[in-house]
Structure 1
Amino acid sequence: MRVKEIVYFDKAGPENTTAVIEAVKRRCTELGIKHVVVASDSGETALRLWEAIQNTGVSLICVPQHAGYMGGDNTSIAPEKRKDLEAKGIQVLVCAHALSGVGRSITKKFGGVTPVEIIAHTLRRFGGDGIKVAVEVSVMAADAGLIPTDREIIAVGGSGGGADAAIVLKAAHMNNFFDLEIREIIAKPRQREQ
């Protein structure tokens, strides 16, 4: 049996980023975690997390929004910021979102909802956007071969910038999504964003 602390925030949002980073660093040390995946649109949250875990042997993967998400052909992360992150050894992964992708296009064009969007909404009910995003970026990183699927990793997500959720999980590839195991909640908001 294990008894561990979970950090609960009164509300979702970027004001929780520092506390999430501290909790992630602590759990990396306690569990011997070697891979952390963080959703970071601008790269700032990834940079702050790197500052906390640098020189610990933990591999950090930053996942910004895919090209076209904000319109046009640009990603949410500036080219200079990406170069800065990569120079520090942070891997930057830009790819289609695992829990929307083409399904989002179908919904926008024809209405209705796809099974993948139901999974995304279910995760939001459980833990808000941050938990959904953490699961999503772990699948994306696994599909890119950047994290293992045979051991625990930490994934970090947020709502409206910054980070407000972190989980320990055994990741899975998209084609084996239901093999994914959320093993611990490190931090999450008590209330979903409105």
Structure 2
Amino acid sequence: MFKVSKTYYFDKPGVVNTELAITFAVDRAVEACIDTIIVPTETGRSAFILNKIAKERGFSGELIAVRYHTGFENLNEQFMSEDDYDNLLKLGFKIHTGTHLFSSISRSFRLKWEGVFMPEIVGETLKIVSTGFKTAIEVAVMAANAGLIKDITKDVISMGGTSSGIDTAIVLRAAYQNNFLDYIKIRELICKPRDY
């Protein structure tokens, strides 16, 4: 047996693809009866776009937003405003703020003393497909770690992008960080940039 599903390829990476990539992801969720969509978001912009498109396309499942950890660029600062955070909660989003899976504390050692560490090697390897592919896997595991994915044995849709916005979407079965190698399953590639 086999299954046929469409994969869309963008000519270029980046924020210009956000609305179309999210539309492809939501349509796939509706078509396949997938009830969870995960979006990374710095400021909330991609999450608000996801909310709008999900309503327009009849998606009624769970929306999860994963945002940068506080202090990512400047001490005590969060990219997302408190107003946008509160508004996303009012829209029904589950929101996770946490350490990036593929850098974690090793980023601190790399920035101070240079060198490369295993989480970053895994992340850089996943970027061979696209930067957004790495991010989509990363935020799915972060959401699972936070207990925001009800059942990691079921398909979810997760997205990522290049620098900002969304240009990659996948169907996957998530994992927790401690069983990443045993449970993570990339089931379908919905869209990605051809050049990245």
TM-score w.r.t. structure 1 length?
0.95
The 5 A counterparts of 1:63-82 are: 63-82=66-85
1:99 paired with 2:112, answer no
Structure 1: tracts of 5 or more residues without a match:
none
Q: CA separation in 1, counterparts of 2:129 and 2:91? A: 34
Q: CA separation in 2, counterparts of 1:58 and 1:186? A: 18
The DSSP-based 3-state class of the residue aligned with 2:129 is: helix
Deviation at 1:4, TM superposition (A): 1.3
Moved over 6 A (4+): none
2:17 — aligned with what?
16
Identity rate of aligned residues, in percent?
A: 36
1:64 touches 1:75 (CA, 8 Å); kept in 2? no
Deviation at 1:53, TM superposition (A): 1.3
Question: What's the CA shift string for 1:88-123, capped at 9, x where partnerless?
Answer: 101111011111010111111221100110000001
2:3 — aligned with what?
2
Q: CA separation in 2, counterparts of 1:72 and 1:33? A: 38
Q: CA separation in 2, counterparts of 1:159 and 1:78? A: 22
Which among 111, 135, 140 is matched to residue 138 of structure 1? 140
Q: CA separation in 2, counterparts of 1:155 and 1:173? A: 15
The DSSP-based 3-state class of the residue aligned with 1:191 is: coil
Deviation at 1:11, TM superposition (A): 1.1
2:49 — aligned with what?
48
1:38 — aligned with what?
39
Q: CA separation in 1, counterparts of 2:116 and 2:163? A: 23
Deviation at 1:126, TM superposition (A): 1.8
Deviation at 1:166, TM superposition (A): 0.4
1:99 touches 1:120 (CA, 8 Å); kept in 2? yes
Q: CA separation in 2, counterparts of 1:75 and 1:140? A: 18
1:180 paired with 2:176, answer no
The DSSP-based 3-state class of the residue aligned with 2:13 is: coil
Deviation at 1:70, TM superposition (A): 1.6
The DSSP-based 3-state class of the residue aligned with 1:126 is: coil
1:62 touches 1:92 (CA, 8 Å); kept in 2? yes
Q: Which amino acid aligns with 1:189?
A: P
Deviation at 1:150, TM superposition (A): 1.2
Q: CA separation in 2, counterparts of 1:64 and 1:6? A: 26
1:61 paired with 2:58, answer no
Q: CA separation in 2, counterparts of 1:15 and 1:135? A: 21
1:130 touches 1:164 (CA, 8 Å); kept in 2? yes
The DSSP-based 3-state class of the residue aligned with 2:128 is: helix
Q: CA separation in 1, counterparts of 2:135 and 2:80? A: 17
2:165 — aligned with what?
162
